[in-house]
Amino acid sequence: MLSRDENELLTQTNSGTSAGEYFRRFWLPALLPSEVPTPDCPPVRVRLLGEDLVAFRDTNGQVGLLEEACAHRRASLFWGRNEECGLRCVYHGWKFDVNGICVDMPNEPQEYRFENKVRTVAYPTREYGGLVWVYMGPPEHQPELPKLEWARVPESHRYISKRLQETNYLQAIEGGIDSSHSNFLHASLEAFRLTDSYVEKVKNSNNLRAKYHLLDKAPWFTVKKTDYGLVIAVRRKAEEDRYYWRLTQFLVPSHTMIPYQAGHSIHGHCWVPRDDQTCWVWTMSWNPDAPLSHEDLETIRDETFVHARVDPVTFKPVRNKDNNYMVDREQQRTSTMTGIHGFASQDQAIQESMSPIVDRTRERLGTSDTAIIAMRRLLLQEMRELAQAHEPFAAQHGDVYWVRSASLLLKRDVEFDKGARELMKAEV
């Protein structure tokens, strides 16, 4: 449980709030490059951390991210003309470049123009790892880009999707690091009921997760604080002298990774506050060694796992709360726990059902919620330290993000971090 004050401190992200200032110390995913595909293409609206912005790609190909309201009369620059290295407001013609400098003020007589005195809010951007990133904090604290593995593989090795979730970012992260929900929310009925046919199917399979979940229903949870955030380790008994470990990372401010089994693609998320009531869910799938396979891309297209189909303009998922996520009650009765198609939609349905901001004074946690407690405490600690002028370490040390999740068998006398070191270090 959290106190009301702690809950507010963690979940409010506008400028001037603790969490808002913390997020403003990191580079954040802002938009897909394909949203502004070519120089001088139409601008698009972007809402981040409670701020309404407009993105455009100028004549030189540089992406600008400006306050949406024009500095003159507050008209929306979304209606603006993207022309000759600037975005021109169509109301009175004021024009701004990617740095927010007013470069033209045609409605004023030549002798009264003061464009060199006018600046609008503009945030620096970088195109990196298949995304446009933005930094919205104080210029003197501009951090390094995080050296996340998915951002450093060739484009053919990764797939990134973006969707809108109608909840605060925090409960979305909590879903991402809560390993115990997958045995229920994402389970088939035969897996949940452990039918004979299911047990037979998985006991000799190479799906380590399914196999060892059968053998040990009461895993041990361990968390460890690291330079990048947390590693969350869940240990189950395996054959003879071995344990089966699942290691996942929480990387500040809001990245997570799903345990990776060698030979398969890797998946991760980044949850970025759009405002206090909604967040952007960025989902990445990547293969460090080879282009994504036909099978990987088929899974993405079928929406069976972590990606979901969305409206191309609003990024609202096709399966959403307005249509009850297209729940199929007959499927729920006969074959799956939820009757909702795909892990992403299942997560979204359940997280959005908890209200936009969960009242954490009313929750009832147990020891299987250790990872969630650790993540909250870590963020609270970092936010309070920032309020005392201690800058977050990870923001200024992009190298610490070069890690990989893991799922593996280790001898019982080997500590997970030592045993997994070779596998967790990203090799790109």
Kindly state the smallest distance separating residue 205's Cβ from other proteins, in Å. 26
Main-chain phi, psi angles of 126, to 5 degrees: -140, 140
207 binds other proteins (CB under 8 A): no
From the list 294, 367, 388, 389, which residue makes contact with other proteins (rule: CB under 8 A)?
367
Contact by Cβ (8 Å): 130, 155: yes
224 binds other proteins (CB under 8 A): yes
Helix ranges restricted to H, 204-273: 208-215
From the list 215, 220, 239, 321, which residue makes contact with other proteins (rule: CB under 8 A)?
220
Helix ranges restricted to H, 40-179: 149-152, 169-177
CB atoms within 10 A of CB 190: 16
Of 190-198, 269-277, 288-296, 369-377, which segment contacts other proteins by CB under 8 A?
Answer: 369-377
Kindly state the smallest distance separating residue 384's Cβ from other proteins, in Å. 11
From the list 76, 277, 278, 370, which residue makes contact with other proteins (rule: CB under 8 A)?
370
Q: How far is CA 98 from its chain centroid?
A: 26
From the list 36, 55, 223, 258, which residue makes contact with other proteins (rule: CB under 8 A)?
223
Nearer to other proteins, 225 or 321 (CB): 225
CB atoms within 10 A of CB 360: 21
Of 88-96, 162-170, 196-204, 370-378, which segment contacts other proteins by CB under 8 A?
Answer: 370-378
Q: How many residues bind other proteins (CB under 8 A)?
A: 23
409 binds other proteins (CB under 8 A): no
- For 300, the enclosing helix (H) or strand (E) is helix 294-302
First to last CA, the chain: 40
From the list 3, 156, 207, 324, which residue makes contact with other proteins (rule: CB under 8 A)?
3
C-alpha 247/C-alpha 266 separation (Å) is 13
Of 57-65, 86-94, 216-224, 337-345, which segment contacts other proteins by CB under 8 A?
Answer: 216-224
* Per-residue b or e along 363-398, where b marks 16 or more CB atoms closer than 10 Å to that residue's CB: eeeeeebbbbebbbebbbebbeebeeeeebebbeeb
From the list 126, 141, 201, 377, which residue makes contact with other proteins (rule: CB under 8 A)?
377
C-alpha 48/C-alpha 35 separation (Å) is 15
428 binds other proteins (CB under 8 A): no
373 binds other proteins (CB under 8 A): yes
Non-local (6+) Cβ contacts of 311 within 8 A are 317, 318
C-alpha 356/C-alpha 171 separation (Å) is 9
Kindly state the smallest distance separating residue 7's Cβ from other proteins, in Å. 12
Nearer to other proteins, 179 or 320 (CB): 179
- For 383, the enclosing helix (H) or strand (E) is helix 370-387
From the list 374, 400, 420, 424, which residue makes contact with other proteins (rule: CB under 8 A)?
374
Contact by Cβ (8 Å): 46, 30: yes
Q: Which amino acid is present at 326?
A: M
388 binds other proteins (CB under 8 A): no
Residues 262-281 that bind other proteins (CB under 8 A): none
385 binds other proteins (CB under 8 A): no
364 binds other proteins (CB under 8 A): yes
Computed on alpha carbons and rounded to an integer, the radius of gyration of the chain in Å comes to 23
290 binds other proteins (CB under 8 A): no
Non-local (6+) Cβ contacts of 372 within 8 A are 174, 177, 178, 365
Residues 77-96 that bind other proteins (CB under 8 A): none
Nearer to other proteins, 117 or 362 (CB): 362
C-alpha 1/C-alpha 360 separation (Å) is 6
Of 23-31, 78-86, 270-278, 373-381, which segment contacts other proteins by CB under 8 A?
Answer: 373-381
Nearer to other proteins, 119 or 225 (CB): 225
150 binds other proteins (CB under 8 A): no
The binding site for other proteins (CB under 8 A) comprises 1, 3, 6, 220-225, 235, 364-367, 369-370, 373-374, 377-378, 381, 415-416
